[in-house]
Structure 1
């Protein structure tokens, strides 16, 4: 039984396709540069269908793993989840999310600074009160 997996990753500044192939004891990996723009589904299919035989796989051995039977419907659901986008849809939404994250970081920093200043102020008040108690002696 041969298992294969294709993963598309963004490794700044290029998108890369990583092919993995496992057949019993052999584990093989190949990598292809796809370019700077997000590859479309037809490009990926053309790569798999037409150029798969031309890939140069790096080979190593793997420990024997026990493969459990996976229900076909579950396998289909897992494959569907793996292909879905996990990001927010539009560029505007992404920009808003980034702005929100930056404002959250700024608020956190301001809160931390305010807390530190309050602690310092309270410490100085305690010191002054202590000095005031011992003033006459």
Structure 2
């Protein structure tokens, strides 16, 4: 049976409030990071998750251990309070976010390199075209009515 577990951790990271969404599906952990501006209220976070969950860009999956334990509700409440008191992201989450960041960085570098090469090629083609136009201007027929050459036959006609 497939089991999906989603955890949201909201903490203050200078100068903004940040939310980290950890999603565990079939033992694979994926993470997404959301930046809030000011400190979000509980109902704002809930509404934001409900409206925008499908838009989150999750990191590539990383193997994670899934714990299937039934706990006493009071113990679960205490653990939830402890988790809200601690700040930071779990190490697996950090690894997943780092992996996503590196993939985005390599993609950005690749696009930038392609754009630079395209610009170089465009500049080269432009220079070649200008060279050809200059060369053509040297071999182009001279206008018959220009002041450089005098043709006696044309002067009689005019």
TM-score, length basis structure 1: 0.52
Q: How many angstroms apart in 2 are the aligned matches of 1:15 and 1:63?
A: 26
Counterparts in 2 of 1:63 and 1:15: CA distance versus 1, 3 Å: closer
> Which of 19, 22, 27 in structure 1 is aligned with 2:21?
19
Partner of residue 40, structure 2 = 39
CA distance change for structure 1 residues 72 and 43 in 2, over 3 Å: closer, same or farther?
Answer: same
Equivalent residue, structure 2, for 1:71: 72
Larger Rg: 2
CA contact (8 A) 1:24 1:64 kept: no
| Displacement of 1:21 | 0.7
Answer whether contact 1:28 1:58 (CA < 8 A) is retained: yes
The alpha-carbon distance between structure 1 residues 57 and 79, as it changes in their structure 2 partners (threshold 3 A), is same
Shift of 1:8: 0.6
Q: CA RMSD in A?
A: 2.5
Any idea what SS the aligned residue of 1:45 has?
Answer: helix
Task: Pick closer, same or farther for the CA change 1:71–1:24 going to 2, 3 Å.
Answer: farther
Alignment check: 8 A CA contact 1:17 1:34 kept? yes
3-state SS of 2:46 partner: helix
- Could you tell me which runs of 5 or more consecutive residues in structure 2 were left unpaired when the two chains were aligned: 86-158
State the shift of 1:53 in Å.
1.3
Is the alpha carbon distance of 1:63 and 1:81 closer, same or farther for their aligned partners in structure 2, counting shifts above 3 Å? closer
* Counterpart residue number, 1:88: none
8 Å CA contact 1:2, 1:23 repeated in 2: yes
Q: Which has the higher strand share?
A: 1
Between Structure 1 and Structure 2, how many residues are aligned?
85
- CA deviation after TM superposition for structure 1 residue 10, in Å: 1.0
**Judging changes above 3 Å, is the alpha-carbon distance between structure 1 residues 9 and 69 closer, same or farther for their aligned structure 2 residues?**
same
Shift of 1:57: 0.6
Q: C-alpha deviations, 1:77-128, integer Å up to 9, x for none?
A: 43355457xxxxxxxxxxxxxxxxxxxxxxxxxxxxxxxxxxxxxxxxxxxx
